[in-house]
A and B are shown apart, each in its own frame.
Chain A
Amino acid sequence: GAVVSQHPSWVICKSGTSVKIECRSLDFQATTMFWYRQFPKQSLMLMATSNEGSKATYEQGVEKDKFLINHASLTLSTLTVTSAHPEDSSFYICSANGPRLSSYNEQFFGPGTRLTVL
């Protein structure tokens, strides 16, 4: 149980275009989803926290107008990178937790999406 999927697993796009990445909880209801960014050989940087039905909470320094997050249902959150540029190229990872999965808010991670902006 507690499986999280991401789609696509990799995407290449041209500079200036927008890219949408989906994060789904397959067998549980995810009341909270998290989006991380990981640069090569570095740790995960939390970008934002989203709770179903409300606006995402962005970490300091993350542009909310550039990284649009929607958590419209209990099983789906989307991250849209708007007007992507080469510096947005990165590995994006989502995670999710739910109200009855554990007593300590354990997060379950998706497999990640590699974005390359040309």
Chain B
Amino acid sequence: GNSVTQMEGPVTLSEEAFLTINCTYTATGYPSLFWYVQYPGEGLQLLLKATKADDKGSNKGFEATYRKETTSFHLEKGSVQVSDSAVYFCARLLQGAQKLVFGQGTRLTINP
């Protein structure tokens, strides 16, 4: 089937720690992949994206590489900040399709 699976949260880290949030997908074809961030009480903001294999999306110190061989799009950041505390959603969009399919979300809390 077509789905997106994220590592379960919540994730709690100290400031300046290294972050990885795993995301894997199943899909026919070659989807576009996204990470969205949702701050408390707000809607979703696009954090980064990758539209083809081996693409690396990056923004605000976050990175994710589209790995076709492992069907993964793991989110990483080398040094997190308190302001990164939010819920992160991995999502995929099939070529030519309109519907985004979201993972279950991972709540991240960064302590000072």
Contact = CB atoms under 8 A, between A and B. Distances in A.
- The answer to whether A and B belong to the same complex is yes
Interface stretch (A11-19, A64-72, A106-114): A106-114
Interface residues of A, number: 23
A110 B43 contact: yes
A110 B42 CA distance: 9
Contacts, number: 51
B93 A105 contact: yes
Interface in B90-112: 93, 95, 97-100, 102-105, 107
B104 A112 contact: no
Interface stretch (B21-29, B44-52, B57-65, B72-80): B44-52
B43 A107 contact: no
Contacts of A95: 44, 100
18 contacts: A6-B43, A41-B105, A41-B107, A43-B103, A43-B104, A43-B105, A44-B89, A44-B102, A93-B44, A103-B51, A104-B93, A105-B98, A106-B46, A107-B100, A109-B43, A109-B46, A110-B43, A111-B43
Interface of B: 32, 36, 41-46, 49, 51, 89, 93, 95, 97-100, 102-105, 107
